[in-house]
Amino acid sequence: MAAQNGKDLLVKVDMTSDGQFETIAGLRATRVSFNAETVDVTSLESQGGWRELLAGAGVRSCSISGAGVFKDEGTDERARQLFFDGEVPDFQIIIPDFGVIEGRFLVTAIEYAGSHNGEATYEMSLASAGLLTFVAL
């Protein structure tokens, strides 16, 4: 696989709960993290005293964080409203030459910042809130 443009990693939100996704505008940096908790089933009979893990058990999760500048009134307003209303709409995460992850996410944090001689910026964090699907590109 060749090197990919970071700007091609997109976070999209279902704007009106009708399956029409729009890219959250102004994002400059995005990070996607997949996690799986382990369930330790090590016992005195574990071979050589090595830890044993139970396959397929434990909680799986995905977290997304992004930072950017204000560019689009609609998606900025939607992200802010999702946070204050505690909604968990569908999001799509497009990872170039990898695939599309889709599922429900909760906006867990929004931070706003600005400096006297610079642009206003924001950072946001999302946490998966249910089953995620994956479609390879």
- List C-alpha distances in Å: 120 to 1, 58, 70, 135: 36, 40, 7, 35
Judge contact between 15 and 35, C-beta under 8 A.
no
Domains and CATH numbers, the chain: 6-35+62-136 (2.30.110.20)
Side by side, the strands of the sheet bearing 121-136 are: 21-23, 10-14, 90-95, 99-113, 121-136, 60-69, 27-36
pLDDT digits (tens), the chain, 137 positions: 677 777 788 999 998 889 899 988 788 889 999 999 999 999 999 999 999 999 999 999 999 999 998 777 888 888 899 999 999 999 999 998 899 999 999 999 999 999 899 888 899 999 999 999 999 98
